[in-house]
Amino acid sequence: MKAGQNIILIGMPGVGKSTVGVLLAKAAQRQFLDTDLVLQARAGRTLQEVIDQDGLEAFLRLEEQCILSLDLTDHVIATGGSVIYSEPAMRHLKETGLVIHLDLPIFLLEQRLSNLDVRGVVMPPGWTLSRLAQQRLPLYRRWADFTVDGAGKTQDQIVAEILRRL
């Protein structure tokens, strides 16, 4: 990994991007940024409020603007799960570092995500988490430099694997 490069985490909601990101930043002696928190601060509302009040398309535009405004080096960046819908945002992230896809089987994500209706997940009405994963998985794979499967691993083991692969 080149000096100054960011480590960017992408993946489904509930996969652990924020939690792993904090641990990874500590282990790699880098600063941590969660783009969902940046988006909420800019909007002055929760992710779910933005989706409910403005709609999915407006949320995605705001997310893209937040990502494109980032000018960071030596950070671990946890992104929102929907960032992969924006080609400009993903190109911007790829230019600044390595993109790592954190993956988990759908049944584990379903166990973790009992709060989908308030979590701020960009998902069309009536969709299941499984359908969302089917749509997003090819995009995560397209943008990722590599994928880490978190099934059966602790967060510390995931961090160790990422550090080994860097």
Q: What is the pLDDT of residue 161?
A: 98
Q: Is the pLDDT of residue 7 over 80?
A: yes
The verdict on domain 6-157 having CATH code 1.10.579.10 is no
Q: What is the pLDDT of residue 39?
A: 96
Of all helices (H) and strands (E), which one includes residue 147? strand 146-149
Contacts of 148 (CB under 8 A, 6+ apart): 100, 101, 102, 103, 158, 161, 162, 165
DSSP structure class, residue 114? S
| Separation of CA 67 from chain center | 11
Longest CA–CA span in the chain (Å) reads 44
- Please report, for the chain, the start and end positions of each structural domain, with discontinuous segments joined by +: 6-157
pTM listed for this prediction: 0.96
User: pLDDT tens digits for 26-82?
Assistant: 999 999 999 999 999 999 999 999 999 999 999 999 999 999 999 999 999 999 999
Q: Is the pLDDT of residue 116 over 80?
A: no
